[in-house]
Structure 1
Amino acid sequence: MSFTDELIPPSPPPASARVNLLTLIRTRLFGSIGSTIVSVLILYLLIRYVPPLLNWLIFSADWIGTSREDCTSGGACWAVITARFRLFIVGFYPAEQVWRVWIAFTLLPVALGYCLVEKLPYRRYGLTFAGFYPLITAILLAGGLGLPEVATSKWGGLLLTLVCGLTGIVVSLPLGVILALGRRSNLPAISSLCVIFIEFIRGVPLITILFMSSVMLPLFLPPGTTMDQMLRALVGISLFASAYMAEVIRSGLQSIPKGQYEAADALGLGYWQSMRLIILPQALKIVIPGIVSTFISLFKDTSLVLIIGLYDLLGIANATITDTKWIGLSNEVYVFTALVYWVFCFSMSRYSLYLEDKLHKGHKKK
């Protein structure tokens, strides 16, 4: 043993390394009188209500049937979902052409994966495919290139919800960036137009926008010109979302220090170069939670298309519970609908957290 070892005894391991499960439970759940009371109360509620809920949801549920009379076990009657599953997914899309919808659904994760995940192989080709995916999907769903035409009035269910939600998300982000930059422009005409648009759209509910896009928009078109009902809804949803997105992005632009703008000027960058290379990347990174929150709200707000005669997932659910064969099964129908919405919204929120962790540069407290 050296002289140094005698003077400096070995240090104990860090406290975090000595924490076991029991210690963690004691400190996190029973560390004080208040936390102990809350933990015991939550445990009681779980024991009291979770087993009966699981029994109703799964163990005593009926899964197959053609009407409510076939559900006799006393649990949930999921037969209403299995019997009308195609209606929930594709609405009134012709049965012999549903394979086109399944192809579009199958290709969607591939396109999204290459847009959202950097480490996938052959990403350059994947991004090219993702760029053409909207056109491919439009041809598959609506018809063309040898495929029979399917009117958008027959689209419904989850298909319609995804079309409205994804279109609004894809369109609102770039349009929101343009509106945010326009509102901060030094040109009074551009700034005033953007302010008027944003404040007008944000000052009215989405129902009003959908009604105007369905009833008022055709009045501004040349005589004899017709516009598809779904296209009108997509225009209204996209414009509505872009106004809210513009304010989210503007908040990010305002949070960028003035020194960043001065640094861009010192480098000799023009306005669009500085925005594309320096300002916007930082601003968008800061407002990722706000952007994703807007996306989630938009995805849920697509249910309002029912007021203009389009039956999305929630619209199909409302129609199902009024069917005499399945009347009285609103709990099952709404639980299924809520679960579908939750899966998509939760996925967006988790990707938001992943993106925040990936892009933080030491300024974020972990």
Structure 2
Amino acid sequence: MSDTHEHSVAFVRTTEIPQQPAPMNAVGPVKWMRENLFPTWANSLLTVAAIYVIYLILSATLPWILGGLWTTSSLAECREVLQGKSAACFSVLTERWNQLLFGFKYPSEMYWRPTVALVLMFVALAPVLFFDLPRKLLIVTVLYPFVAYWLIWGGTVFIPIFALAGFAVAYVVYSRFVAKNFALALFGGIAAAMVFWYISSFIVAAIAPETPLLEAVPSRDLGGFMLNMMLGLTCVSLSIPLGVALALGRQSSMPLIKWICVVFIEFIRGVPLITLLFVASVMLAYFFPPEATVDLFLRVVIMITMFSAAYIAEVIRGGLAALPKGQYEAADSLGLDYAQAMRLIILPQALKISIPGIVNIAVGLFKDTTLVSVISMFDLVGMIRGPILASTDWNGVYWELLGFAALLFFVVCYGISQYSQWLERRLATDHR
């Protein structure tokens, strides 16, 4: 009886069972492959087919890439060394790298200037792209365009100084009248800057030294991938605020401003970019005073900026339309005027929603900078199609040059795309 009672008591362990490792098919690479590559029979077949296609491509291209030559001086010498074998002639990259990056007219002894401007660009963009950094660093961002202009173009230092002062005058006028009338403050600031720059042009002509600190380089001497970067960065930076203004103007209650913005947006969106580039090259100079000498680079910047701003305006207008009406009513209930409501409540939310569309246009705009080659501007593609392939030494080298161009554009565009995805996750644009 006692034995039965003694054995009927449940046994309780005084120590934990040692933790066992998870099954191999539930963790690590095996789990990832099972869930992503081989979840079903259909997906497994597609995975195997894709691996086979990748194998065929790599088996044909890797020997061609790995067996490439880097030290010959011409395509004929490459073919002589290869003796009929199929391999890349990367010597064109080592031979003409300076032309691919800086163009064939930019002085070689001044390559350090655009290189320093490129390094400073990352420093200037950091406070804007990563808002956890101290806000005091924004002063570098504000000063960078003027410093970069002086580094790349050279000439007298008074030109960027007076250009910066003109923006300061515009901001003072804008902040003075923005509380009374937003449109008056905006156009008043622009007018004040224009008048200041017009007057300062005579001052610069009078006090500019004959031997500037940095030798002046004409804009027509810019070329290579440097030109693509300058056009892309400048036009994107200018088109975003212009697109915001156009989007707000299209929703304005003032009929004149609204219809001006509507006509501008619809006209620009209905014209191909290459047509606008030809207009910039041939016709835009007629819209300036006869004595004005507006170089081609500035004219192209104006046209590309107008083109991208029209598309960005529609993206931002979609973001504004996606906001619930209660956000506008909340701003009114707080007693905010139009400028305050847009700056503090409406635009931050609309811009978060519009991030994917803005980035899509920015990537497309950067790739479209290669179209300037059709108006005799020697960007990266223009250098390949023009001076390099026209030379007898490298006539016939296509895959190596175009592959190098594709790699440069891919690195920049992929970096922009990855940053936008990080920014979306950081800002939680899905409003969870």
Indicate whether the TM-score tops 0.5: yes
Q: Does 1:88 align with 2:92?
A: no
- Give the Å deviation of 1:362: 6.4
Q: CA deviation at 1:361?
A: 6.3
What residue is the counterpart of 1:230 in the other structure? 297
Q: Give the aligned partner of residue 76 of structure 1.
A: 88
Q: How many residues align?
A: 353
- Structure 2 Cα separation of the partners of residues 158 and 47 of structure 1: 32
Pairing 1:45–2:57 present: no
TM-score by length of 1: 0.91
Residue in 2 that maps onto 1:256: 323
Match of 1:266? 333
Distance in 2 between residues matched to 1:90 and 1:47, nearest whole Å:
37
After TM superposition, the runs of 4+ consecutive aligned structure 1 residues lying more than 4 A away are 12-15
Cα 1:215/1:143, change in 2 over 3 Å: same
**1:327 is aligned with what amino acid?**
N
SS in 2 for 1:321: helix
Question: C-alpha distance in 1, partners of 2:100/2:152?
Answer: 16
Shift of 1:75: 1.3
CA distance in 2, matches of 1:300, 1:40: 34
* Alpha-carbon shift at residue 224 of structure 1 (Å): 2.3
RMSD value, Cα? 2.2
Q: Deviation digits for residues 78-122 of structure 1, max 9, x if unmatched?
A: 1111100000111020112222111112211111222211334xx
Map of 1:353 onto structure 2: 421
Distance 2:147 2:243 in 1: 25
Decide whether the 8 Å contact of 2:246 with 2:261 is kept in 1.
yes
**Larger radius of gyration between Structure 1 and Structure 2:** 2
Aligned counterpart for 2:118 among listed residues 78, 100, 105: 105
Report the residue type matching 2:60 in the other structure: P
Among 98, 106, 119, the alignment partner of 2:132 is: 119
Change (3 A) 1:34 1:258: same
For the residues of structure 1 that align with 2:35 and 2:296, how far apart are their CA atoms? 58
- Contact 1:152–1:230 at 8 Å: present in 2 too? yes
| CA separation of 1:23 and 1:143: change in aligned 2, threshold 3 A | closer
> Residue 64 of structure 1: CA displacement?
1.6
2:73 partner SS: coil
Structure 1 stretch 299-308 or stretch 161-170: which is displaced more?
299-308
Pairing of 1:1-366 with structure 2 (within 5 A): 18-57=26-65, 59-71=66-78, 72-73=81-82, 74-91=86-103, 92-120=105-133, 123-144=134-155, 145=157, 146-319=213-386, 320-360=388-428, 363=431
Deviations 1:136-174 (Å, cap 9, x if unpaired)? 011111112311110111100011101111111000000
Separation in 2 of the partners of 1:77 and 1:105?
A: 29
Q: Structure 1 52/361 Cα, relative in aligned 2: closer, same or farther at 3 Å?
A: closer
Segments of 5+ residues of structure 2 without an aligned counterpart are: 1-9, 158-212
Normalised by the size of structure 2, how large is the TM-score? Answer: 0.78
SS in 2 for 1:84: helix
